[in-house]
């Protein structure tokens, strides 16, 4: 526990620094590096760490997509960045299918599908952090929600489950998670989003759409926990405890950002819808 706390004391200021420089190349560079490391961890987890034919294109996609939104304005980033994401996903899909076919049965189609989905999931998840920052109005503030939601959910799910947990959530996937912890994490995620709204209103003068912010908090709490369970399922199926050791006490990039990835994608989609999901004005 002490190691986890000490690591968090380093990571939180580092994240604040990245967000402070989010208007510069520091922001997409940070996510590109983390996306590349996450892809490396994934290939190693799948036992394909030395498969350069499949991994090199995956690295290029993971490293490149966070820059797909960078210098565009809000509307242009949403338009062109989404096209870049779709093109990269389709091209890599065709490439993986071709490799699977020409390897003539030595690379099972099921394994190829799982690897492809995980790589695109990682690449799009980190790219969505850039998409929120550069592709929507007030993105420099709203990108905070991609971290506030999942990490608040994770933290309070842990403590609520530790003190009040009685019923296992999905023990076959994650033995320690409880229903009570899940509910606690969800409640505090919604509270965290409301607090964010209060800070934006009284600290920066925004008009805040509190009902939709609360709905977003509820959705994020659910999807972030699903992301955590997905990462746990992959580890369990491949017999590993952690994806890596880059963050002492926390594991690898995938261990620390497993709930941020689906959250960033969900928030980007909600903010693209706009209208009722315009949290700030």
Number of structural domains the chain divides into: 1
| Burial degree of 264 (CB within 10 A; 0-12, 13-18, 19+) | buried
Helices 52-64 and 26-45, axial angle in degrees (round to 10): 160
d(CA 232, CA 258): 9
Q: What is the pLDDT of residue 190?
A: 97
Decide if 266 contacts 226 (C-beta within 8 A).
Answer: no
Q: What is the pLDDT of residue 247?
A: 82
Q: Which two tokens stand for residue 271?
A: 């903010």
Decide if 220 contacts 193 (C-beta within 8 A).
Answer: yes
Q: What is the pLDDT of residue 12?
A: 84
Radius of gyration of the chain (CA): 19
Q: What is the pLDDT of residue 167?
A: 87
Q: Could you list the pLDDT tens digit for every one of the 281 residues in the chain?
A: 667 777 777 788 888 899 888 888 999 999 999 999 999 999 999 989 889 999 999 999 999 999 988 765 555 555 677 788 889 999 999 999 999 998 877 788 888 899 999 999 999 999 999 999 988 889 999 999 999 999 999 999 989 988 887 889 888 888 889 999 999 999 999 999 999 999 999 999 999 999 999 999 999 999 999 999 999 998 888 888 889 888 877 788 999 899 999 999 999 999 887 666 789 98
> Domain limits at 90?
2-277
d(CA 200, CA 161): 31
The residue written with tokens 């990269």 in the block is: 88
């Amino acid at each position: 526990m002490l190691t986890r706390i000490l690591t968090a004391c380093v990571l939180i200021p580092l994240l604040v620094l990245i967000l402070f420089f989010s208007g510069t190349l520091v922001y997409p560079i940070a996510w590109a590096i983390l996306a590349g490391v996450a892809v490396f961890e994934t290939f190693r987890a799948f036992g394909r760490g030395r498969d350069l034919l499949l991994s090199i294109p995956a690295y290029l996609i993971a490293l490149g997509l966070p820059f797909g939104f960078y210098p565009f304005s809000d509307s242009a980033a949403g338009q062109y960045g989404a096209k870049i994401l779709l093109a990269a996903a389709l091209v890599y899909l065709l490439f993986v299918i071709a490799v699977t076919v020409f390897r003539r049965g030595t690379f099972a189609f099921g394994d190829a599908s799982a690897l492809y989905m995980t790589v695109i999931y990682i690449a799009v998840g980190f790219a969505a952090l850039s998409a929120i920052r550069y592709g929507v109005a007030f993105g420099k503030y709203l990108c905070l929600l991609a971290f506030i939601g999942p990490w608040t959910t994770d933290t309070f799910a842990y403590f609520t489950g530790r003190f009040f947990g009685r019923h296992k959530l999905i023990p076959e996937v994650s033995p320690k998670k409880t229903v009570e912890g899940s509910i606690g994490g969800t409640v505090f995620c919604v509270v965290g989003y409301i607090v964010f709204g209060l800070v934006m209103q009284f600290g920066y003068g925004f008009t805040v759409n509190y009902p939709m912010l609360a709905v977003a908090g509820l959705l994020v709490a659910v999807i972030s926990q699903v992301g955590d369970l997905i990462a746990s399922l992959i580890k369990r199926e491949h017999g590993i405890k952690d994806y890596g050791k880059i963050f002492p006490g926390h594991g690898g990039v995938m261990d620390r950002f497993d709930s941020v990835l689906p959250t960033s994608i969900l928030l980007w989609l909600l903010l693209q819808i706009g209208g009722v999901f315009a949290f700030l004005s």
